[in-house]
Amino acid sequence: MTLRERKLKKEELEEVQSLKERAVENIFWHAPEYEYSPKSSMWYWTSLFLALVLIIFALWQKNFLFAVFVFIAELIVFAVADKHPKIWEFAIDEKGVYIGKSKFYSYDQLEAFDIHINEIGHDQLVLKTKKKISPIVAINIYKEEREKIKEFLKKYIPHEQIDISFGDIISKLIGF
């Protein structure tokens, strides 16, 4: 192990310890940034076929900018399709919700929460923030922690039904 790797591991351990200290009598967990779904070779061929159809249509319409856009978008899809998620540390205490050491949502910034139950994989804690742009924050949680988190958050913010966005439905449908 190199000195740099030891230093990075030490910093990661310090970050985890810092979050644990903040959540001593509260809730602390690790979870992936998103649910990873492996893609088959058929998935890649289908994606390529759809991109080619769109490019041919764009060229037929003499819309070269759209053709370039589709080409670049397909390159990005291929680049990120097999990317595995980062593992994040989360904590909830009497002040708010911590996502790693860089993000913090105080209860004043949150309007409500909901828990979406998934049969496969992690459940999701969904937070509705007071932001106008991107007001929804979804955090993976373990099924065993679901009730504990729900009861804890009810003390600070209301629990209400928050619907799954159309973008989330589409991304699950196509395997992202």
Which amino acid is present at 21? E
Q: Are residues 120 and 144 in the same domain?
A: yes
Task: Say yes or no: 76 and 90 in one domain.
Answer: no
- DSSP, collapsed to helix, strand or coil, labels residue 54 as helix
Are 103 and 144 part of one and the same domain? Answer: yes
pLDDT score recorded for residue 82: 81
pLDDT of residue 8: 47
Shared domain for 71 and 17, answered yes or no, is: no
Sign, Cα dihedral of 18, 22, 26, 31: negative
pLDDT at 24: 47
For the chain, the domain total comes to 2
Do both 163 and 99 map to the same domain?
yes
Predicted structure pTM score: 0.66
pLDDT, tens digit only, all 176 positions of the chain? 544 444 445 565 565 555 555 444 678 888 887 777 788 889 899 999 999 999 999 999 999 999 999 999 999 988 888 888 888 888 888 888 898 888 888 889 998 898 888 777 788 888 888 888 878 888 888 888 888 888 888 888 888 888 877 777 777 776 66
Mention every residue, 6+ apart, whose C-beta is less than 8 A from residue 101: 15, 18, 19, 89
For position 57, what pLDDT does the model report?
A: 95
Measured CA to CA, the distance from residue 98 to residue 27 in angstroms comes to 10
Q: What is the CATH number of the domain that holds 10?
A: 2.30.29.30
Q: Which of 115, 113, 100, 98 is nearest to 155 (CA)?
A: 113
**Domain ranges, residue 76:** 41-80
Strand partners, 29: 90
